[in-house]
Amino acid sequence: MKNLFGFILVILIFTSCVTTQVANLKKETSSDIEFFYASQPNKEYTEIMYIQANGGIFHSPEKLLEKLKERANKEGADAIINIKFDYQFWWPNVSGIAIKYK
């Protein structure tokens, strides 16, 4: 009985930590900030700054991308390159480099 309880406890610990999230990567309008994850723009550009958006435990990837886009607009960027999703403890964040086309 003790072994069964230990086995169930181990299963619960390892399966409760698995999560999956999906973010819509489609550009919404032609005047929108462009997002580049694995590729680079085919236009010449200048890097403006590194930007990051932090969220709470229940923030969706889309909400974080919206916050990142707002910051990029504030800085006058045309696009964001090298976008990465990450976690600090339980809090999600998304970061990238804001760029301006030449």
Assign residue 91 the CATH number of its domain.
3.30.110.70
For the whole prediction, is pTM greater than 0.85?
Answer: no
Q: Kindly state whether residue 77 falls inside one of the protein's structural domains.
A: yes
* Helix/strand/coil for 53: strand
pLDDT of residue 34: 94
The residue range of the domain holding 82 is 23-101
Total domains in the fold of the chain: 1
Within a domain: 53: yes
**Has residue 56 been placed in a domain?**
yes
* 17 domain residue, yes or no: no
| pLDDT of residue 5 exceeding 80 | no
Q: Does the residue 81 lie in any domain?
A: yes
Structure confidence by residue, pLDDT tens digits, 6-45:
777 777 666 655 555 555 555 555 568 999 999 999 999 9
Instruction: Report the Cα 25 to chain-centroid distance in Å.
Output: 10
Query: With contact defined as beta carbons under 8 Å apart, do 20 and 60 qualify?
Result: no
